[in-house]
Structure 1
Amino acid sequence: MKTDYLIVGSGLSALVFGSLMAKAGRTVRILEAHEYPGGYGHTFTMAKKYRFNAQLHYVWDCGEGQTVNRVLKKLELDQDVTFERYDPNGFDHMRMPGYSLDIPSEPEELIKRLSELFPSHSDRIRQFVYEVEKTGAGLKKLSPPFHLRELLNHSGEVFCAVQYLNSTLQDVFNKFRLPQAAQTLLALQWPDFLLPPNQLSFYAWVALFRGYQAGAFYPTQHFEHVINSLVKVIESHGGQILLNHEVMNFRVTDRTVTGVEAMNLSTHQTHEFSGNHVICNIDPQTAAKMIGESQFSPSVRQKLKYDYSASNYMAYCVVKDLDLRDYGFGKWNLSHTGHENLNEAFTQMYERNDYSNPSFAITTPSLLTEVGKDCPEDCQIVEFLTVANYDYFKQLRQSDHKAYGRKKEEILNAILDVVEEHYIPTFRQHMVFHITGSPTTNERFCWSPAGNSYGSSLTPKNMGLGRLNHKTSLNHFSFCNASSGYPGFAPTFWTGALLYQRLSGDVLLGSA
């Protein structure tokens, strides 16, 4: 049966697009190679009693009237899929030798706290924070769908944003001559990008930093409920999500994509699926190679030359008979570095694979909501995240699987040494379960090329005017994923909703 929309991949932007189209009365079918829907948003269970989300930790743009809320209202899910806000007085706790800073929601309070730490630089700090606010306002006006009148009415903010098109975060730190320690404290949520300041697009940092200031959130019923709710909308409106179906090829006739061939990984049988419009949620580079890059226009081929983002190391841990709130944890994340310079910290870990002085993030999902426990009552979940080099781990896993396992444990122990020295002295005594993931884990379980965490790398080059969007130059074929939109929970909601708006004409985010 030919469907209105055949969607390849079930990542978050695909589920948002599919649920909106299904709710609007279109027929939708999604093919997913994995056993779970949701891409990096999926939840897995270990030891039959511990639940972990693959990659999502905290999210933004979920407040009243913001993107996620608008989509959920459209789907009539806003009363069921709700969110708990992180502490606005300090949603990110930044820790480094000699300094600590809790990032508040209010910019003026941030200026005050930084000025107390660096009194001789208070004017520069204020100027920097104001520039961030102005750039963020400009970027919002420049985000599609945008209006010429709005751009003209806010020309100051727009010009401020445009001047940083090719700037890294480090460039702007240097412009305002911020002290090194202040730079590190402001950039310490770098695991959200897996890039250091001297490579990270200033645009990417501003969007996320200001997004979390406006409200950092965690789903009341965990991420699994978000994914399941979107799936339910699709299925309750006659749509289908076929898991364990890997797309092997795209059918293209006269520059028109008409369908795909997919293998059922359970039966190893191949089937053909067709759609009036094919939506590509899998990696665009991968899809382009399957279709044949020569089929695409020169401009699209150029945009497909993006670099993949770096990959990450994850440790999912469970502690028993230990209340993390007694040790300073709560409705916030904690980021730690032993280096004063994050550029050097990144080089040590990513390029030299040396984790003897690790920089990492800690998140504690068990403390963020009282609903839908992810572990037994006497346990709490703790997760650690840092950067990792895909090529190194791939080679290690292929050449010496035991050495690969030892390296993952070595990184965990380096992190736990820091945790026990600075935060929770008896952590290992209470740890009753742990499992670690590397870049090759991302590749195997999330079908992520080169283990990338965010699609294309968030450098100025990849965030500029030549960034890939939904347009493919082929008929009835659109991209819809992190590399053709933006990565992260809220940005993928936006990507899926924007494509829905463009193809349906139903105004959800602004003028179509």
Structure 2
Amino acid sequence: MKTDYLIVGSGLSALVFGALMAKAGKTVRVLEAHEHPGGFGHSFTMAKKYTFNAQLHYVWDCGEGNTVNRVLKQLDLDRTITFNRFDPDGFDRMRMPNYKLDIPSDRVELVRRLSQLFPESAENCQQFVAEIQAVRNGLRYLSPPIQPLAVLGHLGDVYRALQYLHSTLQAAFDKFKLPRAAQTLLALQWPDFLLPPEQLSFYAWVILFTGYQEGAFYPTQHFDRVINALVDVIITAGGEVLLNREVTDFSIIDKTVTGATAIDLLTHETHAYLADTVICNIDPKHAAAKIGIEKFSRSIQHKLNYDYSPSNFMAYCVVQGIDLRDYGFGKSNTFHSGDVDLNVAFNRMYNNHDYTNPSFAITTPTLLTDTGGDCPPDCQIVEFLTVANYEYFNHLKQSDPKAYRQRKAEILKSILDVVERDYVPNFRSYLVFQITGSPTTNEHFCYCPEGNSYGSSLTPRNMGVDRLNHETSLKNFYFCNASSGYPGFAPTFWTGALLYQRLSGDKILN
């Protein structure tokens, strides 16, 4: 049966788009190669009792009137999907030798804390924090859907933001002459981007940093409730979410995409699916290769020439017989670096594969909500994340699987050594479960080329005016994913909702 919308891939932006269209009365069919919907937002259960989310750790833009809240209200899900806020006095805990800084929501308090740590650079810190907010204000007016009158009314902020179009975070740090230690404390949430300051777009950092300052959140019922609720909207409205369906080809007639062919990975049967409009949630470069890159306009071909983001190493752990709140953990994330220079730390791990002095993130999802459900009541989940090089791990896995497993164990050992030294003595004695993931894990389970974590890399080159969006130059065919929007929970909500708004004319975003 032909549908109004055929959606290839079930990442979060696609589910948001599909749910909105289904709610609006359109027929929707979603094809997903994995056994779980949700892309990087999906959850998985191990040992029949421990549930982990693949990648998401905390989110932003979920407050009343913000993007996520607007979408959920449109779907009548704002009471089903609720969020707990992280500690406004310190949602990110930054830790490094001789320094620690808890990032507060209040900008004045942030300046006070920085000035206390770096009294000789207090004025520089104050000016930098003010610049962050000015640039963020300018970016709001430059974000689609752009309202010309609003831009004209705020030309000062817009001009200020445009000055950083090609700027890295490091360049902004240098402009304000911030001490190296202050730079590291402010940029220690680098695992949220998997890029060091000298490569990371200043725009990307500003958007995320200010977004979390305005409110860092975690779903009250964990992330699987979010994914399942969006799927339920589609199915309840008569749509389909078909799992284990890997798209092998797209149907094209005279530069018009009419559908797709997919293989059922369980039965190995091939099926053709037709639709008035096809929404592509899989990696745009991967989709373009299936279709034939020459079928796209030169402008789109140029935009498809993006770099993939680096990938990551993850460790999913469970502890028993200990309350991590007794060691300072709670409604916050912890970011650690053994190096004062994050550029050095990144290069050591990503390029030299040296994790003897790691920089990494620690998140404790069990402590972010009181609803339970992710593990037995006497246990707590703790996860560790850092950067990893896909080529290195892929070669290791292909050439020597035993060495691959051993390398993952060595990285986790380095991280746990730091945890026991600086955070929780004898942490290993409380471990009852642990499993690690590498870039090849991402590639296998989330179908992301080269194991990338965020689609296109968040460098100034990929964040400029030539960044890919929903347009493909083919008729009835649109991109809708992290590389054609932006990565992360709130940005993917925005990407899906914005495409819905453009195709339906139903305005739900500002």
TM-score, with structure 2 as normaliser: 1.00
* Cα distance in 1 between the residues matched to 2:62 and 2:165: 27
Q: Which residue of 2 aligns with 1:228?
A: 228
1:418 correspondence with 2:430: no
Gaps of 5+ in 2: none
* Cα distance in 1 between the residues matched to 2:493 and 2:212: 16
**What is the one-letter code of the residue matched to 2:366?**
S
Q: Secondary structure at the match of 2:232?
A: helix
**What is the one-letter code of the residue matched to 1:240?**
E
* Cα distance in 2 between the residues matched to 1:76 and 1:426: 47
Q: Secondary structure at the match of 1:150?
A: helix
Q: Secondary structure at the match of 1:462?
A: coil
- Any idea what the Cα deviations from partners look like across 1:237-278, whole Å, max 9, x if unmatched? 001000000000001010000001100000011100011000
Q: Which residue of 2 aligns with 1:390?
A: 390
Q: Percent identity?
A: 69
Q: Which residue of 1 aligns with 2:482?
A: 482
Q: Which residue of 1 aligns with 2:6?
A: 6
1:372 CA displacement: 3.7
**What is the one-letter code of the residue matched to 1:207?**
I
Q: Secondary structure at the match of 2:486?
A: coil
Q: Which runs of 4+ in 1 moved over 6 A?
A: none
Q: Secondary structure at the match of 2:461?
A: helix
* Cα distance in 2 between the residues matched to 1:407 and 1:179: 35
1:502 correspondence with 2:490: no
1:341 correspondence with 2:341: yes
1:364 correspondence with 2:375: no
1:126 correspondence with 2:87: no
* Cα distance in 2 between the residues matched to 1:158 and 1:235: 42
Q: Which residue of 2 aligns with 1:403?
A: 403
* Cα distance in 2 between the residues matched to 1:290 and 1:141: 36
- Any idea what the Cα deviations from partners look like across 1:321-343, whole Å, max 9, x if unmatched? 11000000000000000000000
What's the RMSD between the two structures over aligned residues? 0.4
Q: Which residue of 2 aligns with 1:457?
A: 457
1:426 CA displacement: 1.6
* Cα distance in 2 between the residues matched to 1:43 and 1:372: 15
Q: Secondary structure at the match of 1:461?
A: coil
- Any idea what the Cα deviations from partners look like across 1:374-424, whole Å, max 9, x if unmatched? 100110000000000000000000000000000000000000000000000
The alpha-carbon distance between structure 1 residues 239 and 372, as it changes in their structure 2 partners (threshold 3 A), is farther
* Cα distance in 1 between the residues matched to 2:17 and 2:487: 15
* Cα distance in 2 between the residues matched to 1:147 and 1:396: 50
Q: Which residue of 1 aligns with 2:172?
A: 172
1:55 CA displacement: 0.2
1:90 correspondence with 2:90: yes
- Any idea what the Cα deviations from partners look like across 1:96-122, whole Å, max 9, x if unmatched? 000000000011100000000000100
* Cα distance in 2 between the residues matched to 1:361 and 1:320: 21
* Cα distance in 2 between the residues matched to 1:87 and 1:126: 23
Aligned length in residues: 510
**What is the one-letter code of the residue matched to 1:435?**
I
**What is the one-letter code of the residue matched to 1:463?**
M
Q: Which residue of 2 aligns with 1:327?
A: 327
* Cα distance in 2 between the residues matched to 1:438 and 1:491: 24
Q: After the TM superposition, which residues 51-450 of structure 1 pair with which residues of structure 2 at under 5 Å, given as runs? A: 51-450=51-450
* Cα distance in 2 between the residues matched to 1:36 and 1:103: 35
* Cα distance in 1 between the residues matched to 2:103 and 2:212: 10
1:373 CA displacement: 2.2
TM-score, with structure 1 as normaliser: 0.99
Gaps of 5+ in 1: none
1:40 correspondence with 2:40: yes
* Cα distance in 1 between the residues matched to 2:374 and 2:147: 44
**What is the one-letter code of the residue matched to 1:474?**
L
**What is the one-letter code of the residue matched to 2:154?**
H
* Cα distance in 1 between the residues matched to 2:36 and 2:84: 25
Q: Secondary structure at the match of 2:211?
A: helix
* Cα distance in 2 between the residues matched to 1:143 and 1:466: 14
* Cα distance in 2 between the residues matched to 1:205 and 1:61: 15
Q: Secondary structure at the match of 2:462?
A: helix
